[in-house]
Amino acid sequence: MTTIPQTTHASRTAGIPSILKTAVINALVALVLFSLMVGIRTEAGSDGQLTYWTRFGELASLVAVVFGGSIVIELLRQWIGPSGAERLVPPAVHTGMAFVGRFLAPALLIFALLVPVIFYNQRYILDLAILVLTYVMLGWGLNVVVGLAGLLDLGYVAFYAVGAYSYALLATNFGWSFWVCLPLAGILAAFWGMLLGFPVLRLRGDYLAIVTLAFGEIIRLVIINWQELTGGPNGVSGIPRPTLLGIPLDNSDDGLAAKLGIEYSPTHRIVFLFYLILAMALLTNWVTIRLRRLPIGRAWEALREDEVACRALGINTTSTKLTAFATGAMFGGFAGAFFATRQGFISPESFTFQESALVLAIVVLGGMGSQLGVALAALTMIGGFELFRGLETYRMLVFGMAMVLIMIWRPRGLIGHRAPTVFLTKAKAISSDLVKEGHG
Amino acid sequence: MTSPLLTIRGLRAAYGKIEALKGVDIEINPGEIVALIGANGAGKSTLMMTIFGKPRARAGQILYEGRDITDVPTHEIAHLRIAQSPEGRRIFPRMSVAENLQMGADATECTEAERDATLDRVFTLFPRLKERYAQRGGTLSGGEQQMLAIGRALMSRPRLLLLDEPSLGLAPLIARQIFDAIRVLNRQDGLTVLIVEQNANHALKLAHRGYVMVNGLITLAGTGAELLQRSEIRAAYLEGGRHG
């Protein structure tokens, strides 16, 4: 009895020199970095000469913070690291979480459906909800490429941009309605997805990431520089709002409010946009879930696991990769068209690498391949980001810290569990059919 | 009498400048188990991979049922009902056992009834897989993973099965189970098997015929029993192995 606590105690104290060593190294790195960044302050003097002065006090406090922080992080890692986290959580909580997990998705869906009812008068929350749902949809779209097929795509924003510009240009130049342009935006984005797919077929991992990153930048630069078509940095404005089967949601005599004989309110359009993006996101989810149960979806997942084995099993990896890129891109294009109609104005500034990174972060944080996880991650990332608005300058810091902690405790993402799609019960039922046929 | 199922003539293959196969000739008749033995780096696995077109043959011919398949794309070779349990098993670790098996059937055209009959067959051969069908592939033991790799290959209902080192890293008892299953498949289902093995003793006892490969060339051929008697084989692959 007495020896056991002693050994655990020993194993914990044995780490102290190494913890101190790590902290000292981190502090040294901080010292080198900050000595120039913070320790010396330079400014142009009155005659244009360089004046500088030292700030050793600030430097010392920063290094001290890094030293202390390293110790805290190392201690956290030792006591509540990935393996420790499992032990810390009592089994009752585990079963409770499994229970919650089963009803979480339906509960979230019902809540999402009721959001416009509950928050009807709170424009800010409705706008935020639309934003969250846009990212849920983007996350689900990218999930096909990154989560299922395992192709690291850092240029996803390119397809978002293609979708947005497709709708914006078709609507402003030809006056086509949103509902005609929506599938076109998806098809065009899918086409660009295939186009990106071809050159990167042989690439994997880091190399693929670099090429897709470049692709995202190329699309953005083309949009900026092709002024005649896209308006360049000025963007496209006056993009028509979506209509409900041709009925506009505005204050005019033909508007929905007038036809229904109710008083017009700008909130109608917001609520409509909310349900529109909700429907589009749910469609994305439904298609993905269906595809996962089909051979093509299974081939995507197998491709993520082992490309060589896939080929030996007779899977055409070329077409499998291309369909993954095209499917993911198509959903990105849909989301882009929605973005354009919601904003009424788009410019290249909306399609920077930061967007790609954000969507990728949502997919990774949610647990690659998990639909519910991606939705939760989008809610956390976009909603959480707004939540920390009160912290102003520090919000990035808090946010970054939260992400680091989540990745320490849940390295596979919020929902790392992957639900299988093939079940044996089906096989059993059909093997009895075989008996009936008698010639199988 | 019967024409061979697989004929390989003067096959050469290389990785960059390093030639791994320097003109290999082998024949596999329908219903046979053929063992390919040889030391590390002799080119056994390369031969297997070259049949699947990765790497492509530089010279020579691969004939399957009289058809030249030397230049057929890798993914189409599986449709010709040649299946492979690759070196290192290469199962899909995050997918369940059932999904792994289904992957084997996905690329081949077969009815649901045919698929389920094959699945039943696989489960009869490897009952362990049935017990663990919902488990993730990566959580299986080495022996179970090997069973899964073979089972997955069988799901495409092959006529020719290529097995690359099925006993690698397995406990002797498990390795014996695997070899027994291969024997059953051959005797009862008439499956033709090409097996690459380091474990020459086991492989040659199992096989009807065997080939010995040294430095990318076939140096010896004969029935399994004949090869087991040859003193040079005993010295190189049997006794030598026993003494470490």
Report CB contact under 8 Å: B152, A313.
yes
For residue A359, pLDDT over 60 is answered with yes
Q: Which of A308, A314, A430 sits opposite B107 (nearest CB)?
A: A314
Q: What angle do CA B204, B209, B214 make, to 5 degrees?
A: 75
Shortest distance between the Cα of A313 and any Cα of chain B, in A, equals 6
For residue A108, give the nearest of A388, A371, A367 by alpha carbon.
A371
pLDDT band at A416 (very low <50, low <70, confident <90, very high): confident
Contacts of B84 in chain A (CB under 8 A): 312
Shortest distance between the Cα of A423 and any Cα of chain B, in A, equals 7
Helix (H, G, I), strand (E, B) or coil at B12: strand
Least confident residue range of A120-129, A190-199, A429-438, B76-85: A429-438
Helix (H, G, I), strand (E, B) or coil at A156: coil
Average pLDDT of chain B? 89
Which residues touch A372 (CB under 8 Å, ≥6 apart)? A104, A105, A108, A366, A415
Alpha carbons A111 and A125: distance in angstroms, whole number: 13
Q: How far is CA B126 from CA A69, B43, B65, B179, B180, in A?
A: 53, 30, 29, 12, 11
Q: Spell out the domain ranges in chain A.
A: 3-88, 102-409
Q: Quick check: B17 and B73 in contact, CB under 8 A?
A: no
Residue A159: per-residue pLDDT: 96
Q: Which of A308, A316, A317 sits opposite B86 (nearest CB)?
A: A308
What chain B residue is nearest to A434 in terms of C-alpha separation? B113
Q: Which domains does chain B have, with CATH numbers?
A: 1-81+160-244 (3.40.50.300), 92-158 (no CATH)
First to last CA, chain A: 64
What chain A residue is nearest to B52 in terms of C-alpha separation? A312
Alpha carbons A63 and A66: distance in angstroms, whole number: 5
What chain B residue is nearest to A300 in terms of C-alpha separation? B103
Interface probe with A: pick from B79, B80, B94, most Cβ of A within 10 Å: B94
Report CB contact under 8 Å: A314, B156.
yes
Shortest distance between the Cα of A366 and any Cα of chain B, in A, equals 17
Phi/psi at A83 (nearest 5 deg)?
-75, -40
For residue A8, pLDDT over 50 is answered with no
Contacts of A306 in chain B (CB under 8 A): 90-92
Report CB contact under 8 Å: A298, B102.
yes
Report CB contact under 8 Å: A430, B93.
no
Residue with tokens 């846009």, as numbered in its chain: A134
Q: Quick check: B94 and B102 in contact, CB under 8 A?
A: no
Residue with tokens 């039922």, as numbered in its chain: A429
Give the global pTM: 0.80
Q: Which of B79, B99, B112 sits opposite A421 (nearest CB)?
A: B99
Phi/psi at B4 (nearest 5 deg)?
-65, 150
* Residues A236-278: tens digit of each pLDDT: 999 988 877 777 777 777 777 777 777 778 888 889 999 999 9
Average pLDDT of chain A? 83
Contacts of B113 in chain A (CB under 8 A): 430, 433-434, 437, 440
3-state secondary structure A234-303: HCEECCCCCEECCEECCCCCCCHHHHHCCCCCCHHHHHHHHHHHHHHHHHHHHHHHHHHHCHHHHHHHHH
Helix (H, G, I), strand (E, B) or coil at B169: coil
- How many other β-carbons are positioned within 10 Å of the β-carbon of residue A70? 21
Rounded mean pLDDT of B174-180? Answer: 92
For residue B65, pLDDT over 50 is answered with yes
Asked if the bond preceding B55 is cis, omega within 30° of 0, the reply is yes
Interface probe with A: pick from B77, B87, B106, most Cβ of A within 10 Å: B106
Report CB contact under 8 Å: B90, A421.
no
Residue B241: per-residue pLDDT: 46
For residue A102, pLDDT over 80 is answered with no
